[in-house]
Chain A
Amino acid sequence: MENHKAAAAAVAYRLLNQTKHKSNKILHQRRLIPNSTQLNPSSSTSGFTQASVPLNQFVASYRWDLRKSSLIHTHHRKFGSVASTIVERNPNFSTINHDDLIYFDKILGAKKVIQDPEELQTANTDWMHKYKGSSKLMLQPENTTELSQILDYCNSRRLAVVPQGGNTGLVGGSVPVFDEIIINTRRMNSVISFDQVSGVLVCEAGCILENLISFLDKKGFIMPLDLGAKGSCQIGGNISTNAGGLRLVRYGSLHGTVLGLEVVLANGSVIDMLGTLRKDNTGYDLKHLFIGSEGSLGIITKVSILTPPKLSSVNIAFLACEDYISCQKLLFQAKRRLGEILSAFEFLDSQAMNLVLHHLDGVRNPLPSSIYNFYVLIETTGSNESNDKATLEAFLLHAMENGLVSDGALAQDFSQASSFWHIREGIPEALQKAGAVYKYDLSLPVEKMYDLVEEMRTRLGAAANVVGYGHLGDGNLHLNVSARQYDDAILAQIEPFVYEWTSQHRGSISAEHGLGLMKAEKIYYSKSSETVQLMASVKKLLDPNGILNPYKVIPSSLVS
């Protein structure tokens, strides 16, 4: 425990006491996370406590450290992302001074200028405890005007910022890398309008997805996206990362459902693209630039989104398949025979199932008679309870007669339905509990998708547990490698193999998680250098000083 504390304090102090670490090869380097034992949540929460440090001492050491060290050695190798990438703090960025704080206090009021170390601790760390920044300031603007003033000021002072919503990202995109000012949108959380006829919802970026879901539920509508993190994630973050989620197979991506955005650019100018029209062909549709650009081009402040009506009849089946080819055939059949009512088609392999059964409380196998190689979860959503159920039953019985499905269960009520979903949605949590996990979110042609999992299994042998699950309906594989602890030998077996394999099969190395810090340098596996160059030009045009979410999305060498 003593060691953990020392290590954690070192992080908080910007690792003044480097000598305590064995590997101290590069002087002035900082490890974002000092050692993997801290990934244990119990030790990390207690370990990071800084309450005993007087604030002035804390700030003093922080300033000292900024002068001394300009390099950060991101030890991502511990966390299955990038093998020892050196990211350098951009020397063009200023550091916060007293006048800055006075200015922010003046425009926002003290309540929205957060310097409390504990609050910053949380905001600096991503939810997996993989990435940790060292920002000393979080601003929580309440409206577009305040946000615009902040950015205008930061841009003129060349202060880097990181936009942050619910901080539920998986690629280190929502936490600072160094000392970027965190701009959290949580106070911008009101619904502006809702049109019962068109189903267009206009709201502020900081609305939590689940709150929007329950707001719409009362009106008889649903959000076009749903994902495991709905209780914390914010709609602004969902859109800026172009989150996919569980219903994409039915309602399409956010590029289709987002009708308009209001965005603040790096220089503080407010771009009003907050249309509510489904059709609008007047010039370039620039809102798409901000969907999925992970806060690197502007900060989304308001959102207009098309919401589908809530349909009363939802049916869920949990099915077992003997092999991957059956899962594919089942998808092929489902798209035809369930057509308009199919709303989710998810799959998991037996390894994922076992993890969930072992690590989550209260989960039971819906098909306990034996363990099957693959499980498929099918959801239908429609307007006619008895018809839909009959259609689904007929489809399933047909699939069973044809041997595509070995066994299956059909939820008879909502609690059974949610227990089926819990298995699929609980996989990330089960992986987290199982130990170290290397996560990859890949788009691949459906027929090739599982080959990668099998090849990975062969490569790693007994060293790790390779788990495959994901949105089969969208060709999106979540490849996860679970090991007892983070190990360079394992990572060397995975990377760059997984990226090269994906690239060879013309897949995407990021289907729905984004690039963030984890994969910024890997973008070339999925995009040509000309494309990336054009992205960099767009970035330079909209954010010439590069203050918005630096070091992320595109290689920093192109923009700094």
Chain B
Amino acid sequence: MKIMVAIKRVVDYAVKIRIKSDKTGVETTNVKMSMNPFCEIALEEALRMKESGVASEVIAVSMGPTQCVDTLRTGLAMGADRAIHVDAPSTLYPLTVAKLLKALVQVEKPGLLILGKQAIDDDCNQTGQMVAGLLNWPQGTFASKVVVDKEKKAATVDREVDGGLETLCLDLPAVITTDLRLNQPRYATLPNIMKAKSKPIKKMSLAELNVDLRSDLEVVQVTAPPVRKAGVILSSVDELVDKLKNEAHVI
């Protein structure tokens, strides 16, 4: 069984986000970009399945500008067998990505598509659900544990829901999106980085996959949240009561 893992290149988790001065989006020039942490978890899960003999091949896919190749290279260094880069502009919305993934699934025919539950840049949390809908595949989202039964062609997925765990059994092929506690991704070691250099990254165009970029969404403006005002230290309870009454008008 092949596993396909979707990987997104995002502004590094540890970078402090700055808004572009023209408010059209987030500043990404000269900013450290890394693999979306949830995608790392998705890839780690696929690699573990391969190591346990459940899967035969792990394919990492990413869509966006040329630099996505760096992120795919990281995926290959972690252990993916090969990669596909779909050349596209940097701003893609979940529905477009879902359509692209559907097209890729039709080319590669994996038994399992694993994605991070969301990307830390736009926090959409939509792509996995949408692609499952488009493919008409069962979906197990926010997975905190995944067990694949090769014989029965089924996956058991634990989901963290309010107040407990929900366990689903999905017939394969299926879509799984990964939550934070599913696993701890491995580091890219030197021998694997070396091996990754010779692993193939196939480049595909939007036209080849027959997906157009039309979007029903338009970003009007991106702004930073208001800066929190500094607090004040008061010297007495009376002063506090006075402030609450006359400044905050809450009592």
Interface residues of A (CB under 8 A from B): 312, 314, 317-319, 364, 366-367, 385-386, 393, 396-397, 400, 405, 407-416, 418
Contact = CB atoms under 8 A, between A and B. Distances in A.
Contact of B74 (A385, A386, A412): A412
Given A312-B30, A312-B32, A364-B184, A414 B13 contact: yes
B195 to A, nearest CB: 11
Nearest to B29: A312
Nearest to B192: A409
Nearest to A369: B189
Interface residues of B, number: 21
B190 interface: yes
Contact of B193 (A319, A367, A385, A410): A410
B188 A386 contact: no
A414 B13 CA distance: 7
Contacts of B74: 412
A397 B190 contact: yes
Contact of A409 (B30, B31, B32, B189): B189
B32 A400 contact: no
Contact of A400 (B14, B35, B190): B190
Contact of A393 (B13, B30, B184, B193): B193
A409 B12 contact: no
Nearest to A414: B14
Contacts of A314: 32
16 contacts: A312-B30, A314-B32, A319-B190, A367-B187, A367-B189, A396-B190, A397-B194, A400-B191, A408-B190, A409-B188, A410-B193, A412-B77, A412-B187, A413-B14, A413-B37, A415-B14
A410 B188 contact: yes
Given A407-B190, A414-B14, 8 more contacts: A312-B32, A396-B190, A396-B193, A397-B194, A400-B194, A409-B187, A412-B34, A415-B14
Contacts, number: 64
A138 B34 CA distance: 48
A367 B15 CA distance: 26
Contact of A412 (B14, B35, B190, B191): B35
B193 A413 contact: no
B70 interface: yes
A380 to B, nearest CB: 14
Q: Give me the 6 closest cross-chain CB pairs, A-B, nearest first.
A: A413-B34, A414-B14, A409-B187, A408-B190, A412-B74, A366-B187
Nearest to A396: B190
Nearest to B189: A409
A319 B187 CA distance: 12
A429 B185 CA distance: 26
A410 B190 contact: yes
A214 to B, nearest CB: 10
Contact of B191 (A317, A407, A415): A407
Given A386-B70, A400-B194, A418-B14, A413 B35 contact: yes
A217 to B, nearest CB: 8
Contact of B190 (A312, A405, A418): A405
A386 B187 CA distance: 19
User: Which of B15, B35, B184, B188 is packed against the most chain A CB atoms within 10 Å?
Assistant: B188
A85 to B, nearest CB: 44
Say whether chain B's binding surface is mostly helix, strand, loop, or mixed. mixed
B64 to A, nearest CB: 16
Interface of B: 12-15, 30-32, 34-35, 37, 70, 74, 77, 184, 187-191, 193-194
A409 B74 CA distance: 12
A414 B32 contact: yes
Given A312-B30, A364-B184, A386-B70, A415 B190 contact: no
A400 B193 CA distance: 12
Nearest to B67: A386
A409 B184 CA distance: 15
B12 A413 contact: yes
Contact of A415 (B13, B31, B188, B189): B13
A408 B34 CA distance: 20
A55 to B, nearest CB: 22
Contacts of A393: 193
A264 B5 CA distance: 64
A330 to B, nearest CB: 13
A396 B77 CA distance: 14
Given A312-B30, A414-B32, A414-B34, A409 B190 contact: yes
Contacts of A366: 187, 189
Contacts of B35: 412-413
Nearest to A311: B30
A68 B37 CA distance: 65
Nearest to A419: B187
A414 B189 contact: no
A402 to B, nearest CB: 13
B189 A408 contact: yes
Nearest to A405: B190
Contacts of B193: 393, 396-397, 410
B187 A411 contact: yes
Contacts of B14: 413-415, 418
Contact of B187 (A396, A400, A405, A416): A416
A414 B15 contact: yes
Nearest to A401: B194
Contacts of B189: 366-367, 407-410
A362 to B, nearest CB: 10
A410 B188 CA distance: 6
Contacts of B187: 318, 366-367, 409-412, 416
B80 to A, nearest CB: 13
A382 to B, nearest CB: 13
A407 B193 CA distance: 11
Contacts of A412: 34-35, 74, 77, 187-188
B66 to A, nearest CB: 11
User: Which of B31, B77, B190 is packed against the most chain A CB atoms within 10 Å?
Assistant: B190
Contacts of A411: 187
Nearest to B71: A412
B21 to A, nearest CB: 15
Contacts of B30: 312
User: Which of B37, B184, B193 is packed against the most chain A CB atoms within 10 Å?
Assistant: B193
Contacts of B12: 413-414
Contacts of A405: 190
A408 B31 CA distance: 26
B190 A413 contact: no
